[in-house]
Chains A and B, each alone.
Chain A
Amino acid sequence: MSKRLPQRASEWLKRDKPISFYFEGQKYQAYEGDTISSALWAAGETVLGRSFKYHRPRGVLSLANHDVNVMLADGTDTNMRGDVLPVQDGMQLTVVNTDGGVKNDKKRFIDAISSILPVGFYYKAFHTPRSLFPFWENIIRKSAGLGVVNFNYPRELKRKLHTHCDLLIIGAGPTGLTAALMAAPHGVNIIVVDENAQAGGSLSYDLGGSDESAKRLADLLAELAKYPNVTLRTGAYAAGYYTDHLIPIVETTGITKVRAKAVIVASGAFEQPPVFRNNDLPGVMLATAAQRLLARYATKPCESAVVFAANKQGYRAAMDLLDAGVTVKAIVDLRAEGEPCSLVDAIKSRGVAIYNGACVYEVLPAANKFGVKGAVICSYDEASAKPLLHDRFTLACDGIIMSAGWAPAAALLYQAGTGMRYEKSAEQFVPAKLPAGMFAAGKVNGIFDLAQRLQDGARAASEALTYLGKQVPSVTVDREYIASPSHPYPMVEHPKGKNFVDFDEDISIKDFVHAAQEGFDNIELMKRFTTVGMGPSQGKHSNMNAIRILARIRQLPVERIGTTTARPFFHPTPIGHLAGRGLHPHRLTTLHGWHEAHDAEFTDVGVWKRPAWYRRAGLEKQQAIYEEALAVRKAAGMIDVGTLGKLEVRGPDAAEFLERFYTGSFKTQKIGRTRYALLLDEAGVMVDDGIACRIAEDYFYITASTTNAAAVYREMQRWLQIWQLDVGLVNVTGAYGGINLAGPAARGILSRLTLRPLDDASLPFGAVCDTEIAGVPARLIRVGFVSDLAFEMHVPAGSAQHVWNALLENGAAEGLRPFGTDTQRLLRLEMGNHLIGQDTDGLTQPFEAGSEGAIQFEKPFFIGQRSLQIIARKPLNKRLVPFTLSEGYQGETINECNLVIGADGNIKGRVTSIAFSPTVGRFIGFAYVDPANVAEGAAFNIRTDSGSLVMARVAATPFVQLQSEA
């Protein structure tokens, strides 16, 4: 039966835009502006979902984004919240987590056996015998969870924007709008956000039988529209509070990260359900939900209602029900005193009976628990919180409208570090000590009377403006309550239970009692044991009642119980929104395009992309690498080393600086020569290495490894601050390209591109000079990392391509080929050079790596020196050695990280590098071994993947025979 009312002034529906959709296979009509739940309710549907644990039928509870029992799937998406999601034309909706549909859910039997599933039952069963747990676990996992994830759901791009404002106001209800209006004339930049589709908050639904709210809202919005410095964003929720007033605002389209100078939280309060048997049946709903249905969606909550109230809101809702033509059978007021406000007479005059000091003892379910058929009413003793059954009677009705109190929507205040106190006169937690720049107003501040809320909004605006440095008069608010907006203990016990506190998790009063009796009588323990507040609504309708129950159990005041910690997010927030674009920065050398065009296989080296090797038609990876390596050994090869760190150290104290920073000696270094530069940390661990080129007396040019360059430069800067030497540091890593040309033909090729003599006398190993190559100003370094004859050229990054091309052209005849990092690894291994990061790890010190030669112990100071002095006196645990496998080894492949096993069966070390060298004709590598066994020719055992032992022998380096020039 349709519950849709004729058009109402307050409604959000677009009557001229009818739409249709499907729910559980049935077709329904709705209007644009409906939510899924409002459309179904208007169509007379009551069973909108099933509860998570007991599979009880559920309908509308709050219509405020915590009706988490109404979760839907549309074939693409799942866990869609019916109470707030706009219904769209053509939607095909089904309810999640049912077995056989929402009406015929086969799992509904669980409700009948709920008594054998007491709180925490799963801790007490299924674990013995151990072997059966996987069986039970499988069943438990399948029955848990809500919707089924769609593995084909498209990856959505949601933009995340930063924005900044002077004042962010959260909540566009009467309080927030008033605050905005008060602040607007003072020239501050204001953003107002509200999660609802339209602004107004309670003004948009809490009519209380008059059109005053609507008029006030229209006035406020009209006034506010005059200020260009105010932005009002609806359909936008504040998802959390983060340090220094960073608040992400979530909308369908994306996230706006607002950095505000001041924040007014006017987020209102969540209405809390009174707790009584069957308070979860479809047709039992919060007063504000009924009002939302009536005002926004022109839909009757029911035809014939019993209002179960303990505050004024119930009476206001009764007025709205009456105005909409709903029969109000009675108002059942938990309070012996009843309601003091003037609405009482108006309601009585319309023939509604009011029972004070009474309760709804239980709700009588309609067939299949699909709705309500009546309410059992009896007297209630407020002091003992006991129903008095002697005078009970039944009223037939199809709806229970309940209103017993509130919990502040204070999540963001808590997250910001607000100290809260329990305001007894309002029976509510309210802010006591707010962090700088945070302000709270309205219901969240414990103020409910509309006139007082408006005042409170003005007060918060005045305080925020003062905080922002504006001169404004202060505003005071009288916090007065004719009656408390919240009841201190709106619970009605029932021997048969099913008086629900947490609708997400189907937790009723007895569960709390049992949990407390088992020792979980601290609010946090109780939460964890009962799972109260851990469901998708995160306790929005349950935490406050749980606290009240625990306080009663422990006979403590509510404030002694405290609250559980509020954490982001205020509402569950989609991963796609939070992820945004997902930026992954990477660096490329200017040769990258060439590498791509020549079939390079790239590898990530830190933030860089580097060619690992180049594909060649008909060649497997390993073969391609061998060919690249053989080219270097037999003719020439070249590699893009533009990614190397390039650091300039200049000034009168440059050599002194390097002596302290690196392990070697640099004061004696000659201009035009290079030296090995090894960097340790203060614990003596090897961090990085490179070469230091002395360009002038006061000018060194240093290379650092690709991955460590930024960190090495940063450390140089920091130590320079401490040492205060007369040095200037320049990081030119990106400014220069780098090319390493290696192999016997290298000199010949290069000599055709430069006038600089390249012979051993003019440019010996370890020499550096500035010259021109192919017309490009270049720094030329004679290096030996991958080959005994190699030239490293550093040229302006924009010219690297020109030099690369020139080398290729000139070297084509000799067989010059490019090679990548995989080949470079093999080549340096053949040369007997270890690699920091590959042959060392995060704790390797130079004695283990055999790098003592790079250390000038006699210097007055270098980083790590004092630690090395200590380490030097300790026995060495392992030592890196070069090794070979026997000639013609054909056995199982030895892999890097295979272990070196001693005669005692213990681990002595591991293989850090191994490769078959086509030049040497056997397997060569580096391994950590027992330091007592490092002499050339000493044998040790390596254990293969399959567990067999293979003998290796310590070898001399370089592995390759140094070759004369081709």
Chain B
Amino acid sequence: MTFIQTSPVSHAQHHAYPVMGSLNGMEIALEFGTPQIQQAEAAVAGVAEFSAFTRFAVKGAGAAEWLSAQGITLPPAANSWLMQDSTLVLRLGNSEYLLEDQFVTGHASRLAQGPAPVGAKLYPVARSDAALVLSGQHALSILAEVCALDVAAELANNQRLLMTQVANISVTLLSQTLNGETVYRLWCDGTYGPYLWHELTAMAQEFGGGPVGLSFYFK
């Protein structure tokens, strides 16, 4: 592709003058400050954006069979996830699957670039997620303000994911270990991305944290 895609969240980030960069054809915020500042904020309460990662999703009663045939390992239970190579495989409810490559390449890119899925009861799902990461010692406190669930307990089995509401909008939520730290991953419809980013960063800033660029996680 010869053009640069816009991140769904970018509108809410401009005022912080992040250093932007391109990943998978999408312009994305790489740095919101010096590495020291990013480090400190991420440790207190950081919000980062991973929207530029490649995603691939299918749903329907035939989705599992088709994905298996494509060599994808499927999470055995509804609302759980696993990491296959460097691709997150999320099982959303019973019969919907979302694959997300962590950083650049992986199974999601492979399937996305392959022929469109064909099969009975198999429906591709176009997505434009705002994909966010919430980190730091106050991450759970922020989630306690915006989510009614006992997130820590619900995600104690760290292969589980939650389809719930955060700040009154629908999200998919799980906890993951990145750079040795437990962080919370959130996916919401991209059109809610600026709103969610704004609210989460405002709360993070109240704790002395703030927005964190992608390069903090992928140097």
Q: Which A residues are within 8 Å of any B CB, using their own CB?
A: 159-164, 257, 259, 580-581, 583, 585-590, 592-593, 596, 608, 642, 648, 650-651, 726, 728, 730, 732-736, 774-776, 796-802
Q: Which of A732, A775, A797 contacts B1 (CB 8 A)?
A: A775
B25-45, CB under 8 A of A: which get 1 and which 0?
010000000000000000000
List which B119-156 residues lie within 8 A (CB) of chain A.
121-128, 141, 144-150, 153
- In angstroms, Cα B143 to Cα A160, docked, is 11
- Beyond A583-B168, A775-B2, A796-B126, list 6 extra A-B contacts (CB 8 Å): A585-B167, A587-B189, A593-B10, A775-B1, A796-B128, A800-B6
B5→A162 contact, CB < 8 A: no
A588→B194 contact, CB < 8 A: yes
- In angstroms, Cα B116 to Cα A650, docked, is 14
- In angstroms, Cα B142 to Cα A160, docked, is 10
- In angstroms, Cα B58 to Cα A934, docked, is 51
Q: Which of B128, B141, B194 contacts A735 (CB 8 A)?
A: B128
Q: Which of A581, A650, A733, A776 contacts B123 (CB 8 A)?
A: A650
Q: Which of B4, B10, B122, B149 contacts A802 (CB 8 A)?
A: B4
Q: Which of A583, A587, A730 contacts B59 (CB 8 A)?
A: A730
A728→B6 contact, CB < 8 A: no
A736→B128 contact, CB < 8 A: yes
A730→B123 contact, CB < 8 A: yes
Interface size on B, residues (CB 8 A): 41
- In angstroms, Cα B192 to Cα A259, docked, is 28
B147→A587 contact, CB < 8 A: no
Q: Chain A residues near B5 (CB, 8 Å)?
A: 796, 798-799, 802
Task: Say whether, besides A588-B195, A593-B10, A726 and B128 are in contact (CB < 8 Å).
Answer: no
- A162, A589, A596, A796: most-surrounded residue (chain B CB, <10 A): A162
How far does the Cβ of A686 sit from chain B's closest Cβ, in whole Å?
Answer: 26
- In angstroms, Cα B59 to Cα A593, docked, is 32
Q: Which of B59, B168, B190 contacts A590 (CB 8 A)?
A: B190
B211 beta carbon closer than 8 Å to chain A: no
How far does the Cβ of B107 sit from chain A's closest Cβ, in whole Å?
Answer: 20
Q: Chain A residues near B148 (CB, 8 Å)?
A: 162, 257, 259
B128→A728 contact, CB < 8 A: no
B85 beta carbon closer than 8 Å to chain A: no
- B60, B126, B194: most-surrounded residue (chain A CB, <10 A): B126
Q: Chain B residues near A732 (CB, 8 Å)?
A: 125-126
Q: Which of A592, A608, A642, A800 contacts B11 (CB 8 A)?
A: A592
How far does the Cβ of B99 sit from chain A's closest Cβ, in whole Å?
Answer: 15
Q: Which of A163, A585, A797 contacts B8 (CB 8 A)?
A: A797
Q: Chain B residues near A161 (CB, 8 Å)?
A: 141, 144-145
B14→A593 contact, CB < 8 A: yes
Jot down 30 A-B pairs with beta carbons below 8 A, ordered by A. A162-B144, A162-B147, A162-B148, A162-B149, A162-B150, A163-B144, A163-B150, A164-B150, A583-B146, A583-B168, A585-B169, A588-B194, A589-B191, A590-B190, A592-B11, A592-B194, A593-B14, A596-B11, A642-B191, A648-B123, A651-B121, A728-B122, A732-B126, A736-B128, A775-B1, A775-B2, A797-B8, A797-B190, A799-B3, A802-B5
| Beta-carbon nearest neighbor of A595 in chain B | B11
- In angstroms, Cα B194 to Cα A876, docked, is 48
Q: Chain A residues near B153 (CB, 8 Å)?
A: 164
| Beta-carbon nearest neighbor of B95 in chain A | A728
B126→A735 contact, CB < 8 A: yes
Interface of A is mostly: mixed
- In angstroms, Cα B152 to Cα A163, docked, is 10
B199 beta carbon closer than 8 Å to chain A: yes
How far does the Cβ of A213 sit from chain B's closest Cβ, in whole Å?
Answer: 36
Q: Chain B residues near A592 (CB, 8 Å)?
A: 11, 194
B175 beta carbon closer than 8 Å to chain A: no
B126→A798 contact, CB < 8 A: no
A593→B168 contact, CB < 8 A: no
B102 beta carbon closer than 8 Å to chain A: no
A728→B59 contact, CB < 8 A: yes
B7 beta carbon closer than 8 Å to chain A: yes
Q: Chain A residues near B4 (CB, 8 Å)?
A: 802
- In angstroms, Cα B11 to Cα A608, docked, is 15
In the A-B complex, the 7 residue pairs with the smallest Cβ-Cβ separation, listed nearest first, are A798-B5, A728-B123, A734-B189, A164-B150, A797-B128, A587-B191, A735-B126
Q: Which B residues are within 8 Å of any A CB, using their own CB?
A: 1-8, 10-11, 14, 26, 59-60, 121-128, 141, 144-150, 153, 167-169, 189-192, 194-195, 199
Q: Chain B residues near A650 (CB, 8 Å)?
A: 123
B191→A798 contact, CB < 8 A: no
How far does the Cβ of A257 sit from chain B's closest Cβ, in whole Å?
Answer: 8
Task: Say whether, besides A164-B153, A593-B11, A159 and B191 are in contact (CB < 8 Å).
Answer: no
B6→A586 contact, CB < 8 A: no
Q: Chain A residues near B126 (CB, 8 Å)?
A: 730, 732, 735-736, 796
- In angstroms, Cα B14 to Cα A798, docked, is 16
How far does the Cβ of A254 sit from chain B's closest Cβ, in whole Å?
Answer: 9
- In angstroms, Cα B4 to Cα A730, docked, is 26
How far does the Cβ of B120 sit from chain A's closest Cβ, in whole Å?
Answer: 8
A588→B11 contact, CB < 8 A: yes
Q: Chain A residues near B2 (CB, 8 Å)?
A: 775
How far does the Cβ of A828 sit from chain B's closest Cβ, in whole Å?
Answer: 24
Q: Which of A164, A585, A802 contacts B195 (CB 8 A)?
A: A585
Q: Chain B residues near A160 (CB, 8 Å)?
A: 145
How far does the Cβ of B108 sit from chain A's closest Cβ, in whole Å?
Answer: 15
- In angstroms, Cα B113 to Cα A830, docked, is 44
Q: Chain A residues near B11 (CB, 8 Å)?
A: 588, 590, 592-593, 596
B123→A585 contact, CB < 8 A: no
Q: Chain A residues near B26 (CB, 8 Å)?
A: 798
| Beta-carbon nearest neighbor of A165 in chain B | B150
| Beta-carbon nearest neighbor of B61 in chain A | A728
How far does the Cβ of B41 sit from chain A's closest Cβ, in whole Å?
Answer: 19
Q: Chain B residues near A259 (CB, 8 Å)?
A: 148, 150
| Beta-carbon nearest neighbor of A643 in chain B | B191
| Beta-carbon nearest neighbor of A642 in chain B | B191
- In angstroms, Cα B35 to Cα A197, docked, is 43
Q: Chain B residues near A799 (CB, 8 Å)?
A: 3, 5-6
B3→A734 contact, CB < 8 A: no
- In angstroms, Cα B148 to Cα A736, docked, is 30
- In angstroms, Cα B26 to Cα A557, docked, is 78
A585→B10 contact, CB < 8 A: no
Q: Chain B residues near A257 (CB, 8 Å)?
A: 148
Q: Which of B6, B124, B167, B191 contacts A734 (CB 8 A)?
A: B191
How far does the Cβ of B9 sit from chain A's closest Cβ, in whole Å?
Answer: 10
B195→A590 contact, CB < 8 A: no
How far does the Cβ of A379 sit from chain B's closest Cβ, in whole Å?
Answer: 61
Q: Chain A residues near B127 (CB, 8 Å)?
A: 735
- A593, A728, A733: most-surrounded residue (chain B CB, <10 A): A728
| Beta-carbon nearest neighbor of B153 in chain A | A164
- In angstroms, Cα B63 to Cα A730, docked, is 14
How far does the Cβ of B200 sit from chain A's closest Cβ, in whole Å?
Answer: 11
How far does the Cβ of A835 sit from chain B's closest Cβ, in whole Å?
Answer: 22
Q: Chain B residues near A796 (CB, 8 Å)?
A: 5, 126, 128
Q: Which of B6, B141, B167, B168 contacts A798 (CB 8 A)?
A: B6
A728→B10 contact, CB < 8 A: no
- In angstroms, Cα B123 to Cα A732, docked, is 12
Q: Chain B residues near A736 (CB, 8 Å)?
A: 126, 128
Q: Chain B residues near A163 (CB, 8 Å)?
A: 144, 150
Q: Chain B residues near A798 (CB, 8 Å)?
A: 5-8, 26, 128, 190
